Structure 1
Amino acid sequence: MQVGTLTWEPALAHPDLVAPPVHAALARWAEAVPDVAELVVCAEIDPANADTDEMTAAYEIPFELSANCVLVAGRRTGEERIAAAVVRATTRADVNGRVKALLDVRKASFLPTDRAVAESGMEYGGITPIGLPGTWRVLLDPLVVAAGSVACLGSGARRSKLVLPGALLATLPGVEVVAGLALPRAS
């Protein structure tokens, strides 16, 4: 698979480039869906270019292929509820509308960075839906899984990126494809 100017190789063959929980989740997922071993690829990048805008410029990866994963939390009757919302970089997650309603909480907020890093086992700026704690919901916007599309995601580490078919991402255990998850990006 050729995306941008990077050299992409199967992620399962490169545990040194992805966060440990991501590699473990990829291995489990590949047992259930063998295509994962071949179709989920990774490439090493300069960690300074991990954010979407910098990555797009540095490696000529089309902006519309990027997908962002944000972690959101809220409480209901003393119970904390956490979800990852995955949307195209051309949009933004509807945290105060759709995500809040799906979590069934009065207020939804981004998970604080220190908690997101500690509890996911991933680096800030590299958090991905693959390998998150099993108690967290993973919400995926339909634009990410559109027929024939690919998604460029974090790898759990700032030093690499993952690329995979969007439809394959929809087979990740626990993923919920949710209409209306994304809003237009503010100009």
Structure 2
Amino acid sequence: MTTALGTLTWERAVDRPDLLAASTHAVISGWAVVEPAVADAVLVAAIDPDLADTAAMTDAYDLPLSASVNCVLVAGRREGVERIAACLVRATTRADVNNAVKRLLDVRKASFLPMDRATQESGMEYGGITPLGLPVGYRVLADAAVADTGAADDGTGGLVVIGSGVRRSKIALPGSLLVRAPGVEVVQELAIG
């Protein structure tokens, strides 16, 4: 399957485990068994790992910034128990960590997980962390705008670009499908401009 999104060559993710973190491939494959349309809707493209960061990737591959969805890991503690969430927000915004995320995790203070912890605990590479395949127990919070196909007339056809668990590729799928991925919770106003 091919799609016209930037200058990348997109293929079915279920057919390219070599371009995905093992946990990401397992989630996509399992999801496709339950929802067969996922096999054709979730795509992957190889990229230069040095261009995995959002700004560099969008410039190098002619992708609209509005199509990129960042996944940031945030943690906080309540009564000695750590609570971790992956926050999905469009790259044109940022997660409202100090208000919305803190409130949703029900913690006094929330902060980004340090890079070494984020990569070690997720089993994913920095610059490729994705909501698909995170450890059990992580909440996955998606800003409602992730699913909004009318958010920008950017020629993406409603597709969003996310990490694949590794720096050498990216995943594209409809934003409306991403928010229906296993374990994802849609949150109004999770992001701020």
Q: What is the TM-score with the length of structure 2 in the denominator?
A: 0.93
The counterpart of 1:34, out of the listed 21, 36, 48, is 36
Number of equivalent positions: 184
Query: What SS does the aligned partner of 1:16 have?
Result: helix
* Matched AA of 1:28: G
How far the C-alpha of 1:169 sits from its partner, in A, is 0.7
- Listed as ranges, the matches of 1:1-187 within 5 Å are 1-147=3-149, 149-184=158-193
User: How far apart, CA to CA, are the structure 2 residues paired with 1:74 and 1:169?
Assistant: 25
Query: What SS does the aligned partner of 1:164 have?
Result: strand
* Matched AA of 2:46: E
User: How far apart, CA to CA, are the structure 2 residues paired with 1:76 and 1:26?
Assistant: 32
Query: What SS does the aligned partner of 1:57 have?
Result: helix
How far the C-alpha of 1:114 sits from its partner, in A, is 1.1
Q: For residues 43-82 of structure 1, what are the alpha-carbon distances to aligned partners after superposition, in whole Å with 9 as ceiling and x for unaligned?
A: 0000011011111111001111000000000000011000
How far the C-alpha of 1:134 sits from its partner, in A, is 2.0
User: How far apart, CA to CA, are the structure 1 residues paired with 2:35 and 2:110?
Assistant: 33
The answer for unaligned runs of 5 or more in structure 2 is 150-156
User: How far apart, CA to CA, are the structure 2 residues paired with 1:131 and 1:168?
Assistant: 16
User: How far apart, CA to CA, are the structure 1 residues paired with 2:158 and 2:106?
Assistant: 31
* Matched AA of 1:36: V
Identical amino acids, percent of aligned pairs = 61
User: How far apart, CA to CA, are the structure 2 residues paired with 1:113 and 1:35?
Assistant: 34
* Matched AA of 1:107: K
State whether residues 144 and 150 of structure 1, in contact with CA within 8 Å, keep that contact through their aligned partners in structure 2. no
Q: For residues 133-180 of structure 1, what are the alpha-carbon distances to aligned partners after superposition, in whole Å with 9 as ceiling and x for unaligned?
A: 121000001111114621100100000000000011111111000001
* Matched AA of 1:91: T
How far the C-alpha of 1:33 sits from its partner, in A, is 1.4
Segments of 4+ moved more than 4 angstroms: none
